[in-house]
A and B are shown apart, each in its own frame.
Chain A
């Protein structure tokens, strides 16, 4: 069913160097519209760098990256209108309440006050923080902040949601809740998602396709089931260990 979807994100031969260190090494991948695509890999594999490039935060050293046909270098401002990026270690403004934070963020994309209110209400529903949205963010637990941030990323129903470790810091129940929301948004609103995760089970449960990254290169990619069959493994964790040579 997904195979008929149009390519939305296209990375072609992308490299990114930080001084002498090659964070991305000729990386190429495509993500189709309406797909949930997972980037998995160990620390330092280049997952965050790839997501930051797609989100227009850092520039590729070479290669091209396009989102919905828009070049992330030449048309960065246009790209920012259709994406929402959730960094792995994102924070919220300590002295704003949760509701104020959402309103501040919604104001950038909403056309008027009614629209802002609707977007904030949507976010309130996603995060499920209820009356705590009136409290200052500095009183929130790590999990509450993460729920607020996930809600912020999805509330505008972006064409592309770039989520770096979306369930990081959440307990089992809320991690499940966030995964369900992501799935629902893809299904109901046609949001495309590219995410990174260390949690292989999460990726297996959530993603239509995954790419295994190691030292800035894709070492294997495909549907989770296909990968398990190809490498004759019970789960993605085993696939990964086998591919990078731990097993």
Chain B
């Protein structure tokens, strides 16, 4: 019994000491309690704001119908659609003309449906008990990116036709689906199928970039903090070597380690995602044939975007870690930056940046860590201007951060700088610093 009491006493003593140490550490308090309390509400608000805005846009958007039949049944069908969505009708227009004349933008629509000539005749034949004659409509959806909700338009068309069929017969009207990819009609390819096929990329890319950035920032912050903790930094800084070389050596080492780490993550994650998406029926779709695989130039742009972003993240981590006394402190400090790494990754996983409200869009563009994700979506669609502008912006940001990091390394601040938490921390210097 006494042994158990001693055990309990020892446990209690260590537990209380540990709690005091952890709770009194402002970095841990902020990193583990305050930041998550801020991050998730901010993320929630951003997502809510984006969804609300997308909903508003959807309500305002029209469903364009090309009435090339202009018969009685086509009018019935259009009236049926009008019960659920705002319908804009144009007559005697071929699908290719919609693209050529930019009719989708003019009608504030992102998809259209063609009622081909003969529709009413086929419907009449069907209704007059010739069940073998089917009336058909052709749905065209624009594939614009790799957002998770890309295939919603296709589902909506299915739903509208289904609602019409309910009043007639289950298979009275059939809909064939085609996609508009980079301004060209790809007949017989359902946008939803492409969307499903691209979904792994829509999720995998932001997650991989999120992991790569956070992992490499941890490595970089730890490498500098370790020098401080192990008391090797002072010696290093008195050696006959340019401090910029030290900084670059550290950053390069971190990039290499982080790159290998990211590669193993990507391989593992691909297996993980593959196990899910192998079950999705995609028919014989070939993304290369559809032009939905980045070109060599696109890959090069993506690599450059990722590299400069990585460099900016590492330089930022080095600066942050300069304000920490040890590895634990550095990790806590770098944790604050995750807020601006995670938010764009998660938002862009679900939404197309162009569909976001302007303030959110500006915020996402201002965060340098958003740009590889934006670039990964843009290069698939053959948009090279967006990644190029992103690279210029992130490079400028990186140069500023690198300059700040090199300045920090060149001065005594790398040894003496510390974040002051006036409410929690001790003021002034410790005895050891003055000795």
A166 vs chain B, min Cβ distance (A): 14
Q: Which 4 residue pairs of A and B lie closest in terms of their CB atoms, listed nearest first?
A: A91-B231, A91-B230, A85-B238, A58-B412
Which positions 89-134 of chain A face chain B at CB distance < 8 Å?
89-94, 105, 108-109
- A83 to B: closest C-beta gap in Å: 7
- A46 within 8 A of partner (CB): yes
For residues 259 through 315 of chain B, which have their beta carbon under 8 Å from a beta carbon of chain A?
none
* Interface secondary structure of B, over-half rule: loop
Contact B412 A93 (CB under 8 A): no
B234 at interface, CB cutoff 8 A: yes
Contact partner of A57 (CB less than 8 A), chosen from B232, B240, B415, B428, is B415
**B431: CB under 8 A from chain A?**
yes
Query: Does B97 sit within 8 A of A, measured CB to CB?
Result: no
Q: Contacts A90-B232, A90-B235 given; indicate if A47 touches B435 (C-beta within 8 A).
A: yes
Interface contacts beyond A18-B429, A57-B412, A92-B230: sample of 17 additional A-B pairs, CB < 8 Å, sorted by A: A18-B434, A21-B428, A21-B429, A21-B434, A43-B435, A44-B434, A48-B434, A52-B234, A56-B238, A57-B415, A58-B412, A59-B411, A77-B240, A84-B238, A90-B234, A91-B230, A105-B239
* Bound complex: CA A164 to CA B139 (Å): 80
Is the CB of A4 closer than 8 A to any CB of chain B? no
A81 at the interface (CB under 8 A from B): yes
Indicate whether A11 reaches chain B with its CB closer than 8 angstroms: no
In whole Å, how far is B219's beta carbon from the nearest beta carbon of chain A? Answer: 14
| A48→B428 CA distance, assembly (Å) | 17
Interface string of A62-102 (1 = CB under 8 A from B): 00000000000000010011011111111111100000000
A58: chain B residues at CB < 8 Å are: 412, 415-416
- B237 interface residue, CB < 8 Å from A? yes
Q: How far is the CB of A136 from chain B (nearest CB, A)?
A: 13
Residue A19 interfacial (CB < 8 Å): yes
A21 CA / B412 CA spacing, docked (Å): 17
Is A23's beta carbon under 8 Å from chain B?
Answer: yes
B433 interface contact, C-beta 8 A = yes
Contact flag A18-B416 (CB < 8 Å), given A44-B431, A57-B234: yes
With a cutoff of 8 Å between Cβ atoms, the chain B residues found around residue A57 in the complex are 234, 237-238, 412, 415
Interface status of B1 (Cβ within 8 A of chain A): no
In the assembled complex, the Cα of A57 lies from the Cα of B413 at a distance in Å of 10
Report the Cα distance A9→B48, complex, angstroms: 66
A218 at the interface (CB under 8 A from B): no
Which one of A52, A57, A58 has the highest number of Cβ atoms from chain B below 10 Å of its Cβ? A57
User: Which of these, A20, A77, A88, A109, contacts B428 with CB under 8 Å?
Assistant: A20
User: Does A33 sit at the interface, judged by CB under 8 A?
Assistant: no
Chain A residue at minimum C-beta to C-beta distance from B235: A90
Interface assignment of A45: CB less than 8 Å from any CB of chain B = yes
The residue in chain B whose Cβ has the minimal distance to the Cβ of A78 is B240
- Determine the chain B residues whose CB is within 8 A of the CB of A152 once the complex forms: 235
Measured CA separation A59–B237 after assembly (Å):
13
Q: Do the beta carbons of B238 and A80 come within 8 Å of each other?
A: yes
Q: Are A55's CB and B240's CB within 8 A?
A: no
User: Which positions in A face B, CB cutoff 8 Å?
Assistant: 18-21, 23, 43-49, 52, 55-59, 77, 80-81, 83-94, 105, 108-109, 149, 152
Q: Is B242 an interface residue (CB 8 A)?
A: yes
- A49 nearest CB neighbor, chain B only: B434
Given contacts A77-B242, A90-B235, A91-B232, contact A59 B412 (CB under 8 A): yes
A53's closest neighbor in chain B, by CB?
Answer: B412
From the candidates A23, A49, A52, A108, name the one contacting B239 in the complex (CB within 8 A).
A108
Distance of B246 from chain A, by nearest CB (Å)? 10
Tell me the smallest distance from the CB of A48 to a CB of chain B, in Å.
5
CA distance A117 to B241 in the complex (A): 19
- Specify which chain B residues have a CB less than 8 angstroms from the CB of A55 in the assembled complex: 238
Q: Are B230 and A81 in contact (CB under 8 A)?
A: no
Which A residues are in CB contact (< 8 Å) with B241? Answer: 80, 108
A33 smallest CB distance to B (angstroms): 20
Contact B434 A94, beta carbon cutoff 8 Å: no
Nearest-CB residue, chain B, relative to A18: B429
* CB proximity of A225 to chain B, nearest CB, Å: 27
A8 to B23, CA, bound (A): 50
Q: Which of these, B230, B234, B240, contacts A93 with CB under 8 Å?
A: B230
Residue of A nearest to B232 (CB): A91
Closest residue on chain A to residue B231 by CB atoms: A91
* CB neighbors of A among B387-435 (8 A): 411-412, 415-416, 428-429, 431, 433-435
B428-A45 in contact (CB<8A): no
CB of B232 within 8 A of CB of A92, answer yes
In the complex the two chains form, what is the Cα distance from A108 to B249 in whole Å?
13
Do the beta carbons of B240 and A108 come within 8 Å of each other? yes
Instruction: With a 10 A CB-CB cut-off, give which of B232, B234, B238, B415 has the most chain A CB atoms.
Output: B238
Question: Is A80 within 8 A of B239, CB to CB?
Answer: yes
Contact A87 B411 (CB under 8 A): no
A228–B416 CA distance with the chains assembled, in angstroms: 38
Instruction: List residues 332-371 of chain B with CB under 8 A from any CB of chain A.
Output: none
Residues of chain B contacted by A81 (CB below 8 angstroms) = 240
A87 CB to nearest B CB, Å: 4
For residue A37, give the distance in angstroms from its CB to the closest CB of chain B: 18
With A58-B415, A80-B239, A85-B238 as given contacts, are A93 and B431 in contact (CB-CB < 8 Å)?
no
Q: List A contacts of B412 (CB < 8 A).
A: 57-59
**Cα separation A46 to B431 with both chains bound (whole Å):** 10
Q: How far is the CB of B411 from chain A (nearest CB, A)?
A: 7
- Nearest CB to that of A56 among chain B residues? B238
Nearest Cβ on chain A to B295's Cβ, whole angstroms: 43
B434 contact set on A, CB distance < 8 A: 18, 21, 23, 44, 46, 48-49
Q: Closest approach, in angstroms, between the C-beta of A180 and any C-beta of chain B?
A: 23
